[in-house]
Amino acid sequence: MEVLVAYSAKHPVLRMSQSEKSILFGRDEVLVKLNSALSNVKFPMLVLTGEVGSGKTALMQHWLWQYKTADRPDFDAVLRWSFSGYINEHDPKSELHQFLEYALIALNVAFSTEHSCLEKVMLLVKQLQQQRVLLILDHVFGAMFTVERSDHHDLVACFDALLMPLMRYNPGCCVLVLDDPTILVGTRYVGAPELRLERLSQVDGVKLLMHRGVSGKGNALAKVSALFECHPLTLTLLVPYLRDACGGDLTKLDTIPVLFDQHATGRHTRRILAAYEKWLMNTPELAMVYLFSLFAGAFSTRQCLDYCHAIFRRQSLFVKREIPSILAPLSRLNDKKLLSLQQHLQELCLVTVYREPEMFEMHPVIREYFAQKFRTGFWDEWVYLRGILLSDDEDHDIASPVKSDPIRLVEERLTQAIVAKHWSQAADSALQLHQYALARGNVDASINYARQSVAYAHLGQDTLHLQQNLHLLTALLQQVDATTSEAMSAEVAV
C-alpha cells in the first residue's frame, strides 16, 4: 500500500519510500499507545499533541514507516496532509480546497472544480465513511476550530462539516496533530482520545546527542541536554553547530546567544538559530535559508532555482527595485551550486529532504524564525519577493505591490493593549517596535520603545520580563554611549 504525503495541491504528492524513517529516542511508550489506538481502528478520531519541536511529525513519520514495511491490513488507504500554518487572508478556504481536492483525487472520487468547499467536504465524508482510511492532518491550527474573525466563519463551518460526521461514524481513523491542546477546549472535539508528547528525559537527550556524534563524558552531555531542557528539535540543531562551528568543543556553548524576548515557547531553538545566523553571516548558506523561508511549504530544487532566476531577472528589468543584500550571494546560482548548498543545509539539519520526488522542507519553527528576521530587516523587499512567489502569472506586473506597514499594525496593537490595560501585551508590542526601529537604524526610537517595554512590564508586575527588558535597555544605552564617546574622540583628534 502506498502512503501518500502532501503539502499543497501545487506541489507533487510525496510517496514515502521504505527508507524514510525517523530515528526516535524516548518515544517507545508513545509508539506502543499509538499502535494500540490505531490497530483494528479502535477510535474514529485521535489527537496527537506536543509543543512545537517535540517530534510529532517525526513520530508519525516513523509510525508510517513501520506500518508500510509491516504491510499491515488495518486500513485500505493512508493519506497525510500537512497544513502550512497560516491563513490566506484573501481566500481563507484556499488551502482547505487544496486538501479536499488532493484527498478526493487520491481516493478516486469524481468532483468538479466548480464545486463549493462544502460540497467537496460532503463528497469526501461520504467516501471516508465507506472505507477504512487513516487520515492524518498535520499542523492543524486554531483558526480552523474557533471563529476569531467573521471572514473565517465559512472556513470553520467547512472544517466542522468534515470532522463532526467522522467523530460520529468512521470505519477508519482521523488523526489531528496539534501544537496546542487547548485549541480544542470549548469545542465539540474535546472528548477525542489524546496522546501527548512530552520533552525527552535527560537520559534520552544524552542518547540523542551521542547518536548524532557528540562526544564527551556522560555528565557533561547530561548538562548540555539539561541546559536546553531536553528539547528534541533544539538538540537536533545543536549537534551540527557544535560539530562544525565549535569543533566539537562543549566549552564553546557560550557562543550561543541568550535571547531576551517575551516568547518562552521555542526560545532555546531560536537561540540555536541565532547562533547559526551569526556563524553563517554573509554566506550563500544563510542567503539560501532566507530564500527558503519565503516558501510556505515543501519546494523542489527546480522551483527554487527558477524562483531565484526570476528574482534577479526582475532586478535587471526594474532597476529601482533593489534585492536585499542578504540574498546577494545567490546572484550567480546554478544547479550544481544549489545542490551543494542544499546538501550542506541538510547536514546542518536546517532543511529536510524527500527523495521521491526530490523535495525540500523547513521545520515551521526554522522557517518562521528566518522569515521574521527577513520581514523585520527588509519589509518592503519581503512583500515584493513573496508577491513574485505567489503570482500565478509570470508576466503579471508586481513590481509595486500593495504595501502593508508592520510598524503601524504593531503600534495599533500597542494602543489597544494600553487602553485595555493589558500590560504584558503592551510590553511585548513595545519590544517588537524596538526591534523594528533598531533594524531600520532609528536608534532614538528603539531606545524609546525599549523604555516603554520596561515600563509596561513593571505595570504588569511581570518580574521576569521586567528584568530581561531592563537588561536589554541597559545594554543598548551602554552601546550608544560607547559609540558616542568614540565619535567625540575622533572629532577631537581631527
pLDDT of residue 234: 93
Looking at residue 395, its pLDDT comes to 38
Q: Are residues 85 and 208 in the same domain?
A: no
Alpha helices, DSSP H, located in 391-422: 406-420
CA pair distance 436, 260, nearest whole angstrom: 15
pLDDT of the residue at 239: 93
User: Which residues are bridge partners to 176 per DSSP?
Assistant: 47, 137
**Residue ranges making up the domain that contains 442:** 406-482
Domain assignment of residue 492, yes or no: no
- Say yes or no: 186 and 240 in one domain: no
Based on the domain organization, do 43 and 151 belong to the same domain? yes
Confirm if 296 and 377 have CB atoms less than 8 A apart.
Answer: no
Q: Which cell is 16 given?
A: 514515502
Q: Residue 396 domain-assigned?
A: no
Task: Flag whether 435 is in a domain.
Answer: yes
Name, in order, each residue with C-beta under 8 angstroms of 203's C-beta and a sequence gap of 6 or more: 26
Of residues 50 and 420, more confidently modeled = 50
Are 172 and 64 contained in the same domain? yes
Asked whether 174 and 165 are in contact (CB, 8 A), the reply is no
Average pLDDT of span 480-492: 56
Tell me: do 56 and 179 sit in the same domain.
yes
Q: Which of 132, 165, 197 is the last residue of a domain?
A: 197
Whether 156 is covered by a domain: the verdict is yes
Q: How far apart are CA 324 and CA 314, in angstroms?
A: 13
Residues 182, 92: one domain? Answer: yes
User: Does residue 186 register a pLDDT over 50?
Assistant: yes
**DSSP alpha helices (H): ranges in 14-137?**
28-38, 56-70, 94-106, 117-128
Are residues 306 and 384 both part of a single domain?
A: yes
Query: Is a pLDDT exceeding 50 seen at residue 461?
Result: yes
> What does the pLDDT average to over 431-456?
80
Q: How far apart are CA 266 and CA 320, in angstroms?
A: 38
Residues forming a β-bridge with 175 = 46, 136
Task: Give residue 17's pLDDT.
Answer: 47
Flag whether 398 is in a domain: no
Share of the chain above pLDDT 90, in %: 14
- Do residues 327 and 180 both lie within one domain? no
Range in 10-14, 194-198, 351-355 with the lowest mean pLDDT: 10-14
Greater confidence, 435 or 271?
271
pLDDT digits (tens, 9 = 90+) for 192-210: 788 888 889 999 999 989 8
Q: What is the pLDDT of residue 408?
A: 63
Residue 302 lies in a domain: yes
More confident residue, 46 or 258: 46
- Provide the domain count of the chain: 4
pLDDT grade, residue 21 (50/70/90)? Answer: low
Indicate the SS3 state at residue 394: coil
Check if the beta carbon of residue 352 is closer than 8 Å to that of residue 360: yes
* Domain's final residue, options 197, 212, 227: 197
Residue 171 included in any domain: yes
- Amino acid (one-letter) located at 257: P
- Element containing residue 354 per DSSP (H, E): strand 352-354
181, 261, 262 from 420: Cα distances, Å: 27, 22, 19
Whether residue 15 contacts residue 3, with contact meaning beta carbons closer than 8 Å, is answered with: yes
User: Which of 91-100, 216-225, 432-441, 462-471 has the largest mean confidence?
Assistant: 216-225
Q: Are the C-beta atoms of 423 and 456 separated by less than 8 Å?
A: yes
On whether both 213 and 146 belong to a single domain, the answer is no
Summarize the confidence of residues 340-368 as an average pLDDT: 83
* 286 CA to centre of own chain: 17
Average pLDDT over residues 185-192: 70
CATH number at residue 109: 3.40.50.300
Q: Domain ends where: 173, 197, 221?
A: 197
Question: Is the pLDDT at 11 greater than 50, yes or no?
Answer: no
Q: Are residues 247 and 321 located together in one domain of the fold?
A: no
Element spanning 384, H or E? helix 379-390
In a domain, 260, yes or no: yes
**Of 70-74, 398-402, 420-424, which one has max mean pLDDT?**
420-424
Q: What digits encode the pLDDT tens for the residues 323-335? A: 778 888 888 888 8
Give the mean pLDDT of the chain.
79
Query: Do 269 and 336 belong together in one domain?
Result: no
Return the pLDDT at 258.
80
What is the predicted pLDDT for the residue at 1? 46
Q: Is residue 291 located within the same domain as residue 375?
A: yes
pLDDT, tens only, 105-149:
888 888 887 889 999 999 999 999 999 898 999 888 766 666 554
pLDDT at 386: 80
pTM above 0.85, yes or no: no
* Residue indicated by cell numbers 520533552: 199
